[in-house]
Structure 1
Amino acid sequence: MRPSTVLTLALAAALVGLPPAAAGEDPVFDVQFSNGVISPAVIEVPANKRFKLELHNHGSTPIEFESIPPRKEKVLAPGASSFLVFRSLREGDYAFFDDFHLDMQPARLIAR
Structure 2
Amino acid sequence: MRKPLGLLLLSLLLAPEVWADTPEIPLVIKDHRFEPATVKVPANTKVMLVVENRDATPEEFESHDLHREKVIAGGKTAKIAVGPLKPGTYKFFGEFHEDTAQGAVVVE
Question: Does the aligned pair in 1 maintain the 2:28–2:35 contact within 8 Å?
Answer: yes
2:97 is paired with a residue of what secondary structure?
coil
Give the TM-score normalised by structure 2. Answer: 0.78
Match of 2:47 in 1: 51
**Pairwise CA distance, 1:104:** 1.0
Structure 1 stretches of 4+ with a deviation exceeding 6 A read: 17-20
Question: Does the aligned pair in 1 maintain the 2:28–2:51 contact within 8 Å?
Answer: yes
Question: Does the aligned pair in 1 maintain the 2:28–2:36 contact within 8 Å?
Answer: yes
**Pairwise CA distance, 1:35:** 3.2
* Distance 1:35-1:29 versus aligned 2 partners, 3 A rule: same
User: How many aligned positions are there?
Assistant: 96
Question: Does the aligned pair in 2 maintain the 1:42–1:107 contact within 8 Å?
Answer: yes
Percent of pairs with identical residues: 32
1:53 is paired with a residue of what secondary structure?
strand
Aligned Cα RMSD in Å?
2.3
Report the structure, 1 or 2, having the larger helix content. Answer: 2
**Pairwise CA distance, 1:87:** 3.0
**Pairwise CA distance, 1:109:** 0.4
Structure possessing the higher radius of gyration over alpha carbons: 1
User: Quick one: which amino acid aligns to residue 45 of structure 2?
Assistant: K
Once residues 16 and 83 of structure 2 are traced to their aligned partners in structure 1, the CA distance between those partners, rounded to angstroms, is 20
* Structure 2 portions without partners, runs of 5+: 1-12
